[in-house]
């Protein structure tokens, strides 16, 4: 005999595997000189359109994380190269240190963003603010 008085609550679950793969590939990029990060970006772009709302927020967050990291890392790299050349006459040393600092900070920022994304994914929640610059 079944209990008819309690309605069955159906909760649509989305598959968490591919967003987790994207975050994992992003984090493996630290060891593979960003080769796996590019693969993670391709996976995120390929699956974003067909994903449900939870996974779509994670894919959007991952894609934006990649492009913001690339932009800031290029800025820091240009400053480091520019500062390295000008350090021969001592005026470029602050630019050199600022560029290295920016690149290091962006690396930590990227890892933290991936970790926070994994946290929300493990909870089964969409990323609350996928379009943000911060965490």
**Domain assignments of the chain as residue spans, ordered by start:** 17-122
Residue 5 predicted with pLDDT over 70:
no
What integer best gives the mean pLDDT of the chain?
90
- 59-73, 76-90, 110-124: which has the minimum mean pLDDT? 76-90
* Buried residues in 33-52 as b, exposed as e (16+ CB within 10 A): ebebbebbbebbeebbeebe
Q: What is the mean pLDDT of residues 31-44?
A: 95
Distances (CA, A) of 120 to 58, 65, 87, 116: 9, 15, 44, 6
**What is the biggest distance separating any 2 CA atoms in the chain, rounded to whole angstroms?**
88
Position 88 scores a pLDDT of 86
Whether the full predicted model's pTM is greater than 0.75, yes or no, is yes
Position 91 scores a pLDDT of 87
What are the backbone angles phi and psi of residue 91, rounded to the nearest 5°? -80, -20
């Amino acid at each position: 005999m079944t209990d008819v008085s309690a309605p069955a609550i159906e909760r649509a679950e989305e598959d968490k595997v591919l967003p987790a793969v994207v975050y994992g590939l992003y984090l493996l990029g630290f060891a593979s000189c960003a080769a796996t990060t590019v693969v993670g970006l391709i996976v995120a772009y390929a699956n974003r359109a067909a994903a449900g709302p939870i996974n779509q927020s994670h894919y959007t967050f991952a894609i934006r994380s990649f492009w913001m990291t690339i932009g800031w890392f290029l800025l820091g790299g240009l400053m480091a190269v520019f500062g390295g050349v000008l350090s021969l006459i001592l005026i470029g040393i602050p630019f050199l240190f600022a560029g290295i600092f920016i690149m290091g900070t962006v690396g930590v920022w990227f890892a933290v963003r991936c970790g926070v994304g994994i946290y929300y994914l493990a909870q089964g929640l969409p990323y609350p603010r996928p379009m943000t610059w911060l965490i």
